[in-house]
Structure 1
């Protein structure tokens, strides 16, 4: 065991040393845990109830800050109520789904609160999606309506004929402060900001009829079939996050949480916002993350906490020092993916005292949070879980002679699995077959069931873990889950490419894994300079920016297993090092519009961190 890992191991001595600083959180944490665990699937629960509670606690305090817009809890609540009453008047009811495709801005937040009060499930569509993928995502959840921001309208117009929606169920928000100016809707859309104006501002009668088992969100994750999966996020799960992560953060009415993460992801809309609502604090949002504007916004909004993913932290560390990164109120941060090699440096440079790193997945039933404020850990989990031995070659858990799985020892790496119980249910996907594939049965005894997270973690003791790697057909890049099959399908559509195998490779000093595609060319085809430019243009057009492969390896033949599955392990190990293969390797360098051949010099510069991918 290396020295760093040994240093990170946690025992009773280390926990006892943290108790004095932990004591102040206990009352708030106990209050949250009471709300999280003293509930049943039929208890009234969820975002709508919690938000109305925050309105009572801090009616005149700010709830939302965006650009130059400011909304108090009362103002945001009244806005949400008008949207909710409008959809109730149309006949929307608990169990219905409305798809929402709006970038991070005030209209998105008001809409989410509104639909939560009605009991309608909000399908949080990834605003980077286009084409077939977007049409699939919307149709998958059978919505009764689609609400789109003008900034996303072109993407919707391009596939509108493929959507299973009546013509009169397309709603539109102008790309501006619609509480001040509703704008003029384009043909074929109903102007939602205008339509709600005559509706009541008082609380809807439906809020307290929403129960824990009712759907709150659909959040999309990468699918092994090549298209996104929609994961149901119930009000019960939201209440669990609210009672744990939300109360551990320990914010109050004077706090401001600055979030640049996309609100169609659970980290932004669940984890970060939970803490804000629990403290009746202010949520300050930005449309998209910007390194150069980050500390300017922190000062502008007087933020005291920030939401993060690992990439965000790396970008901030890479930026040259600026005066604004000091002298702010930010002492706390919550999120996931903080790299161990910058953890302490980040805290020191920016004056952060508490990193509430956490682990959770949109579909999973196990969560960790760094309640004791240790370094280099996803934290502590009160939920039942196990870390079991896993055979990477066979791609399955190790079982003993009796057929039972084996737990790893302290300091060792294994597969994280979450026990499925009444208190820790598995809510699952829209696809029943997918549900079956991620449930392990008879793990430690006959009849038990565990959710397979697909993640490798290290057991560092005292119910704490470190994230190590992700298994399967997805990898993380730029804070997003990339579906290898989705990218393979798109890359293979290029006229000269017969087949593509996509996988993630590590680039030094970056978070996650960058996309690399091993491609096989059609008969007698060759890649010219024109192809190198055309491929880059094509891939950027049909894939989200984070999913565009940065490396291409030109193969003569694809290596497969006996069951015709792609052999990715060797490709991952050889990565993009030109010395590991005689085959041609291409790279899409930052700010480039064409792939170029990866030379030994370029490889050395990548290793030396001369390029900022």
Structure 2
């Protein structure tokens, strides 16, 4: 692996320089770490306990804001308690699963808290799913019931006959302020708002019986086959996130966290909300992300912190300047995927002081958080991990003479693996075979076990790392491994480009995969003939020859998932086939110094091997 410049390595002096701003956070952080690391799988732990403590600390403070609705901690807790009492009354018990399909709004938050207090796992279904994919996701976790918001009712009703759920356990929330007007449930569904109305509002006795090993959420990750996988998120793991990420954020009861991220994803439901509960602060929700409404909402809710993923930051940077993006209270943000090429620009433009970039995965057991506020790093990890030498050509770790893995030197890149211990367990997937595939045995000594993250990171010292690439996000061309992340950063720097997603495509009669970039242009921009050569020159100056994209697809609109991930599988399948898309495609033909439009004649010549790429 290549050595990096010294500026990417953290020195002891760098850490010392950060201490003055870090020290005021220490008491709050130590309190969190105590809760995180004193937990065991059998001790009381989790969301229900933490939320009830927040209620005790600040009962009349606002816990939640949404549109024009506001709920104090006391009000939200009483609502959740009624949901708890209902499901206890029908026999729901610790270890049961209930599927929940509600968009970002108060009913979702109350439901999750209510189920957490009785030890029922909430299966957080992606609200954009339909058809057989939706049926697969729900049946996969064997729920005893389903709770659906009216905004998702049609999708669920369409596949109702395929669901393995008792017919009298289909629950429904109206798409309105249900605490004021419960609405009227459709046939075959129970109106949850109506049925809980007369129930007690006191805390259920079960809350403090919930152990760390009890499931809290099922969170779904995308599968390579197109069918989602369900990852169990236990109360113990939530307590770890709460004690680390939640306390690193260092919010208090005057703070407001604005979250537009979907709450069926861990960055929203766990990371952002943890910080709110830890500080008895306010969570301000938006149903779905909107660039045009982002800073309006920040001003409306008087937000002081925001949750992000990388694409959200890119969208905000690409938007025209607005007076609303200044003069707000936001000084800190927490999330993941902030690209190095916009990190400093984002802080300067929007007045952000702390970017609490983190590294975690729904299924993983290792996490990093930028607690010291260094730039361009996923931060510091208190959990046991290693960065090992990895041979990308052979797609396997590099072993020493005795057959053990080798740790990289400071400044070098390697595969990140998380040690599996009692306090950093691997909770895993619902599929045991999938679990076996990601656990490495006998890594440094006989009997040890590590979770293989599949991610390449740079060890920059003092238990800090920089994210480099996912092993699955590389392709091989001209005998070289191409990092899609690296190429995406360069292509995105071209002045007219708003966003880029890079992937490898097959060309007949060639080895490996050629680079293809699907780009979207900034509003009002179009590529002129001069851009065809200018783009090539810029890419040539910033990338090795083998990494320069051969094809460029000019997208009208980026297709993304609800968690802001690009739909790469679809793009890969369509490749540069003119019959698969009506969007313009450019090609860099062998020996040329400019891109040209791909037409049917050129396409056919490529297929018949008249060009030697």
Q: TM-score, normalised by structure 1?
A: 0.82
Cα deviation for residue 398 of structure 1 reads 1.4
**Cross-structure match for 2:585:** 598
Whether 1:509 aligns to 2:520 is: no
Matches for 1:451-470 after TM superposition, within 5 Å: 451-470=451-470
Matches for 1:510-529 after TM superposition, within 5 Å: 514=501, 518=505
**Cross-structure match for 2:610:** none
**Cross-structure match for 1:306:** 306
- Distance 1:369-1:67 versus aligned 2 partners, 3 A rule: same
After superposing the two structures, state which structure 1 stretch, 206-215 or 130-139, moved more: 130-139
Cα deviation for residue 390 of structure 1 reads 1.2
Q: Which runs of 5+ in 2 are unaligned?
A: 476-483, 520-531, 537-545, 560-579, 589-593, 598-613
After superposing the two structures, state which structure 1 stretch, 573-582 or 418-427, moved more: 573-582
2:442 & 2:504 partners in 1: Cα distance?
Answer: 37
2:432 & 2:41 partners in 1: Cα distance?
Answer: 20
Matches for 1:406-421 after TM superposition, within 5 Å: 406-421=406-421
2:313 & 2:4 partners in 1: Cα distance?
Answer: 21
**Cross-structure match for 1:571:** 513
**Cross-structure match for 1:472:** 472
Cα deviation for residue 93 of structure 1 reads 0.6
Cα deviation for residue 584 of structure 1 reads 9.1
Cα deviation for residue 599 of structure 1 reads 2.9
- Distance 1:234-1:576 versus aligned 2 partners, 3 A rule: closer
**Cross-structure match for 2:65:** 65
Please state whether the residue corresponding to 1:596 is helix, strand or coil. coil
Provide Cα deviations, 1:521-556, integer angstroms capped at 9, x if missing partner. Answer: xxxxxxxxxxxxxxxxxxxxxxxxxxxxxxxx7x66
Provide Cα deviations, 1:258-291, integer angstroms capped at 9, x if missing partner. Answer: 0000000000000010000000000001001111
Cα deviation for residue 239 of structure 1 reads 0.4
1:5 & 1:91 partners in 2: Cα distance?
Answer: 61
**Cross-structure match for 2:526:** none
1:6 & 1:201 partners in 2: Cα distance?
Answer: 58
Please state whether the residue corresponding to 2:98 is helix, strand or coil. strand
**Cross-structure match for 2:201:** 201
2:474 & 2:170 partners in 1: Cα distance?
Answer: 32
2:344 & 2:219 partners in 1: Cα distance?
Answer: 32
- Distance 1:316-1:5 versus aligned 2 partners, 3 A rule: farther
Cα deviation for residue 226 of structure 1 reads 3.6
**Cross-structure match for 1:81:** 81
Provide Cα deviations, 1:549-600, integer angstroms capped at 9, x if missing partner. Answer: xxxx7x668x8xxxxxxx8xx3254667999999998654328995334135
After superposing the two structures, state which structure 1 stretch, 205-214 or 505-514, moved more: 505-514
**Cross-structure match for 2:604:** none
1:5 & 1:512 partners in 2: Cα distance?
Answer: 27
1:516 & 1:102 partners in 2: Cα distance?
Answer: 33
Q: TM-score, normalised by structure 2?
A: 0.82
Matches for 1:355-394 after TM superposition, within 5 Å: 355-394=355-394
Please state whether the residue corresponding to 1:288 is helix, strand or coil. coil
Matches for 1:482-497 after TM superposition, within 5 Å: none
Alignment coverage as a number of residue pairs:
534
Q: Which runs of 5+ in 1 are unaligned?
A: 476-502, 519-552, 560-566, 607-613
- Distance 1:473-1:374 versus aligned 2 partners, 3 A rule: closer
Q: Conserved in 1, the CA contact under 8 Å of 2:551 and 2:586?
A: no
1:207 & 1:377 partners in 2: Cα distance?
Answer: 37
Whether 1:278 aligns to 2:283 is: no
- Distance 1:441-1:512 versus aligned 2 partners, 3 A rule: farther
Please state whether the residue corresponding to 2:308 is helix, strand or coil. strand
Q: Conserved in 2, the CA contact under 8 Å of 1:224 and 1:474?
A: no
1:144 & 1:429 partners in 2: Cα distance?
Answer: 19
**Cross-structure match for 1:258:** 258
Provide Cα deviations, 1:188-209, integer angstroms capped at 9, x if missing partner. Answer: 1111111111111111111001
